Amino acid sequence: MKISNSKFGLFLSLPGIVLLTLLIIGPLIFLVYTSFLRYDNIRPVVFCGLKNYKYLFRQRVFWLSFKNTLVFCGGTTLLTFVLSLLLAHCLSRITRGSSIFRSFAMFPWAVPLVVSGFMWKQMFNPSFGVINDVLLRTGIIKNPLDIFGNPTLAMIGVILADSWTRIPFMTIIILAGLESISPTIYEAAKTDGADVFQTFVHISLPLNRKAMLTGLLITSIFSFRTIDAIFSLTFGGPAKATYVFGFYILDLIYRYFNFGVAASLSILMIIFLIGIGSIFVYNILKGGKL
């Protein structure tokens, strides 16, 4: 059988297709099936149609977790993008010792999200945290801030902690896109008298849109479903101020043992993620035009 034969390619793909079916497609089908069951470990398991979904839409905690998830996802994605964009452009201009600086920039990526959360919790500690100490010494605040005791500040704290571990990954993507731009374009712009800001706005941003959209796509999807930093920092509190979809699913499974409703919420999360991803994929396929 020749390599150019399509059947040969299909034959080589069979192990991957089988593995994909066992690990992803199979559990997904079972998840969809479970979402239509009354499976609460109290009454007999029976088919209930869309009742689990209707139940969720009537719950105040569902809409609260939905709002918190959007705020957390949007804040993390925006902060990660802005800082990664600045860091990538700074790294792209370093010529001597660039590999050393790039290696240092990647260190937060190697830290597990849960460990990062515990680290930020110590940094935000009102009694001995370094952040409160700096703010007090500089006179920005007069009294220590209890970041994770305040509902508004708690969300800001978990966004900062989660963004810190995601910045290196998006920086790599944006930096790779920048380095794919031909240096002759920058040389021509410099010859025409363009300054750094004009070069950034009219060359770097337009020609690097695909890489930026790819980074935004991956970051938004992961931050939408991830609860690691929140788990180690606030555990959804205070007063459910950081209670996101992931925590709601955990409570439905391990606290209430309501697997049917948990499956329904998981399906809704998948639908939301498909919607978010479709927007970015559509723009990427269009050529990176927003």
Give the C-alpha separation, 81 to 62, whole Å. Answer: 28
Of 181, 274, 174, 176, give the one whose Cα is nearest residue 215: 174
Q: Side chain identity at 231, as an amino acid letter?
A: F
When comparing pLDDT for 112 and 227, which is higher? 227
How big is the CA angle at 181 (ends 180 and 186), to the nearest 5 degrees?
A: 150
Give the C-alpha separation, 263 to 51, whole Å. Answer: 12
Task: Yes or no: say if 106 and 168 are a contact pair by the CB < 8 Å rule.
Answer: yes
Give the C-alpha separation, 23 to 267, whole Å. Answer: 17
The CATH number that domain 28-285 falls under is 1.10.3720.10
* Helix or strand run (H / E) with residue 79: helix 60-92
Which residues is 37 bridged to in the sheet?
Answer: 47
- Model pTM score: 0.89
Going by pLDDT thresholds of 50, 70 and 90, the confidence category of residue 290 is very low
Residue 237: left if φ>0, alpha if ψ -120 to 50, beta else—which one?
A: beta
Give the C-alpha separation, 205 to 200, whole Å. Answer: 6
Kindly state the percentage of the chain with pLDDT values over 70.
Answer: 97
**What digits encode the pLDDT tens for the residues 118-167?**
889 899 988 888 998 999 999 988 888 888 888 889 999 999 999 999 99
Which residues is 28 bridged to in the sheet?
Answer: none
Task: Yes or no: say if 249 and 266 are a contact pair by the CB < 8 Å rule.
Answer: yes
- The mean per-residue pLDDT over the stretch 187-201 comes to 87
pLDDT of 194 reads 86
Task: Yes or no: say if 215 and 76 are a contact pair by the CB < 8 Å rule.
Answer: no
